Structure 1
Amino acid sequence: MFRTMARGCAAGAAGTTALNAVSYLDMALRGRPSSSIPEAVVEKITTKAGHPVPDGEGRDNRLSALGALSGTAVGVGTGVLVALLHRAGLRPHAWLGAVLTGALGMALADVPIAGLDISDPRTWSPADWASDAIPHLAYGLVTYGVLASA
């Protein structure tokens, strides 16, 4: 079980790296700014938990760092979940597994956004959806590829 979870961590970390690379490439090519949504999620969750990020010097930097760390946690955690499902015998064909892994990662990232009333995905433009879906597909390809190759 430990090896499966460690493999899932490694796969999720590799997938998260691919997601970040594709996102940054998109930002570089289109000149779009980074998203402030991860910071907004962290701000809402920490406030609801009764431990808001303190006001003052460095607050924006802390929110930015915690937003990035939360994305890494979702990516690695999704990798562990998919590794456990893979171990349990759920092993779809490579392409389907990659798409399902990417969709799972996307759902685990986007559901809190909607649930916390930070953004409504139903109002997103096609470009907004592409900016979310394409990096998550890269995540799924790499994460599932690492798991399936082991």
Structure 2
Amino acid sequence: MIQSIVRGGVAGAAGTTVLNAVTYADMALRGRPSSQVPAQVMDTLAQEAGHPVPGEGETRDNRLSGLGALSGIAVGCCTGVAVSLLRQAGVRLPWWLGGPATGALAMAATDIPIARLGVSDPTTWSAKDWGADVVPHLVYGMTTYGIVTARDCAA
């Protein structure tokens, strides 16, 4: 079980790195700004927990930006662990289904809280907005699932 947890964490970290690279490439190509949604989610969660993020102005904004990025890394690594443990439990999807399913799981883990907290309403997103969310998560899923299942290919 420990090997599955480690493998999943490593796979999720690699997938998160690829997701970030695709996102930053999209920002560079289209000239779009970074999303403030992760910081807004962290701000809302901290407020609701009764522990508002300290500081004022730019200092507070920077803390929230860092917390938002860290939360994305945590979701990516935890999703990898979950997928690896599911695989160990016998859920064995083919790569063409497992990769997109892994990406969809990570996307749901981020988009559902966004909607539930009222930070953004995905039903109002444009096709470009959805593309900026779906494509990186698909690449995340393919990378993460590929690493989780790589040992099976080598055996």
Q: Give the aligned partner of residue 91 of structure 1.
A: 92
Runs of 5+ in structure 2 lacking a partner? none
Q: What SS does the corresponding residue of 1:58 show, helix, strand or coil?
A: helix
> Aligned AA for 1:22?
V
Q: Does 1:72 align with 2:73?
A: yes
Q: Give the aligned partner of residue 33 of structure 1.
A: 33
Q: TM-score, normalised by structure 1?
A: 0.98
Q: Give the aligned partner of residue 129 of structure 1.
A: 130
CA distance in 2, matches of 1:124, 1:97: 26
Deviates more, 1:52-61 or 1:78-87: 52-61
Quote the offset at 1:55 in angstroms.
2.8
Equivalent positions of 1:1-150 (< 5 A) are: 1-56=1-56, 58-150=59-151
Q: What SS does the corresponding residue of 1:34 show, helix, strand or coil?
A: coil
CA distance in 2, matches of 1:121, 1:60: 24
Q: What SS does the corresponding residue of 1:24 show, helix, strand or coil?
A: helix
Quote the offset at 1:95 in angstroms.
1.0
> Aligned AA for 1:129?
W
CA distance in 2, matches of 1:25, 1:55: 31
> Aligned AA for 1:90?
V
> Aligned AA for 1:36?
Q
Note the alpha carbon deviations across 1:53-93, whole angstroms, 9 max, x for none: 01326111100100000000000000000000010111111
